[in-house]
Structure 1
């Protein structure tokens, strides 16, 4: 038995479609064991993690026309930004590209991911541009004053990822660990959300492709195809969305032991077209392989499953008062 996207669209329009989250599907599997195509039409999936392939393109008026010919370099809140290929000669307008992984020259734990979230929060940021003639132009600006602000991704939403261990004899600074990664297999760091990951639920990308509507950081966006380093065994996606409609709760920066990184979120609906997609959707964490790799050389040294990571785990954040540093101003308290 199979059906088309148009069949499912008609069911949605008539109000007869069954749309479930992946979490609800997982709970149904545990309770019933058997689920057929008649039980579900669309499954909603999502992933949220460090998304290193994230960047933003911003275009906005910086100064009066004729104020400068071309921009040589730029920073926003101390984060390097790169003038775009269009010079906008003498218009006073600048196009900038900001990498989510860029590091501030002023604050060691502040980077592109933090900057993009602050823009979405509506905060003013300081733009500093060095013109080709040596003039320095500065301007405080907020997202409402930026006519074009899009977030793009070169590779996001990997079909899960891997676990890393450090078998060497020395600690290691890495984007995969908040603190220095301890040696001698003392810890493991895991990336990937297992059964709720979008591509895990559509591994052959039968329903996800160019033009697929998705949510990036809560804003409607579109898939533009597969991303860099994508391969049939480990696919990922390339997408874009307008920053104006994003929710800061779903994005931000994260300070790793190797410096700040960028957090992003994707949500993707999966039409359940056939039995193969259904079987992929029903696959539980305990049945999803998790490769274990040496973080130093990125070579496989073992295997596990996502069940060892996510099954019977308390996902609530815990606070240990004995480990509190007693900062003068607690940045965690307002949240």
Structure 2
């Protein structure tokens, strides 16, 4: 029988809801079929733990005495954007630390964000624009997440529905956002954890949208908007899953609730800083079609193999491979056996889904109705030679 999110929430509050992770759901479907599985499940939990570089934090410092209108600011040596209100800042996860500051190398905004979430003190240096309202010229201090007002993540692009597999057909090691790619097809790196990941299990985004409540960094977050580079018109297989990068989400969440386990700064050699983030999305089982879509397995999901040795926006491909092949530890490219490795943590992605499942079973996490669905008609517009 179909049910509503309100029906499911009533079960969650009564602690009678039946909740399975996406991995558990797929196993159940393989055993009893879609219709029987749909009768046994109210919520499916998904998860990922991977680098999400288009992320950052909004901070409000509170006013000094006398007040300051911040013009330039550094948090743990990392420049923060100060083009908002007087003491509002945005700290980007990939912003690099200034070498002029006495800070450790190979650090960026993601590390400063993670340190604040972990409860650590971080340094802050600000230069003001003195005026009649805000006469203070500069100040230095240390801050913690408890010594500032608002501290929340606002991430313009997270949760790629699918991504690419990176290889290097050239003669020299390449240092990329996927990590080092060894020459002559010596390794292949993929970033998506596969069938446990949220957007594979709702391929046309029929269940989630603006206002959907999620697990974010160990706390509560929400889907705020479509993500940048949102491309739902990507070509798709018969099962409606995309063959390459497709939908993305913009996320928002209270960083003061988040925990160090699920938010970690990271650095890619010769590329830059980023942020590892755990995100889990619950899917309400309102009918059997939800289960049918979420039953998709790794061998029915594909990603394109891209050669990074060609320094162009559109790089050559070696065709597509399934996530089952990627997770086996090796793929074959033009007769060559290539070792594979995930950039995402498969183990922690599963743990995100399990943690969210436990929250729901305990009645601590209810579901929300989207206030609007995400657009399904966005094209992807490149910047080519206009104006160059």
TM-score norm. by structure 2 comes to 0.73
CA RMSD, aligned part only?
A: 2.4
- Whole-Å separation in 2 of the counterparts to 1:108 and 1:259: 11
- Whole-Å separation in 1 of the counterparts to 2:93 and 2:165: 23
Q: Is the 8 A contact 1:108 1:259 kept in 2?
A: no
- The one of 287, 294, 301 aligned to 2:318: 301
What residue number does 1:64 align with? 65
What residue number does 1:322 align with? none
Tell whether 2:282 aligns with 1:269: yes
Worse-matched range after superposition: 118-127 or 33-42: 33-42
| Offset at residue 85 of structure 1 (A) | 1.8
Instruction: Give per-residue Cα distances to partners, 1:8-34, cap 9 Å, x unaligned.
Output: 334434544311111222333455565
- The one of 130, 135, 138 aligned to 2:140: 138
Equivalent positions of 1:112-123 (< 5 A) are 112-123=109-120
Q: Is the 8 A contact 1:286 1:308 kept in 2?
A: yes
What residue number does 1:175 align with? 177
- Whole-Å separation in 2 of the counterparts to 1:125 and 1:55: 16
Equivalent positions of 1:1-335 (< 5 A) are 2-32=2-32, 35-61=36-62, 63-66=64-67, 68=68, 70-86=69-85, 88=86, 94-105=87-98, 106-132=103-129, 135-177=137-179, 180-232=180-232, 233=234, 234-257=246-269, 258-295=271-308, 296-297=311-312, 298-299=314-315, 300-311=317-328
SS of residue in 1 equivalent to 2:320:
strand
- Whole-Å separation in 2 of the counterparts to 1:264 and 1:156: 9
Q: Which sections of structure 2, spanning at least 5 residues, go unmatched? A: 131-135, 235-245, 330-340, 349-388
| Offset at residue 316 of structure 1 (A) | 7.7
SS of residue in 1 equivalent to 2:48:
strand
**Larger relative contact order, structure 1 or 2 (CA cutoff 8 Å, min sep 6):** 2
TM-score norm. by structure 1 comes to 0.84
SS of residue in 1 equivalent to 2:195:
helix
Instruction: Give per-residue Cα distances to partners, 1:231-268, cap 9 Å, x unaligned.
Output: 21311111111111101111111121212211111111
SS of residue in 2 equivalent to 1:17:
coil
What residue number does 1:328 align with? none
Classify 1:270/1:27 alpha carbon distance in 2 versus 1 (closer, same or farther; 3 Å).
Answer: same
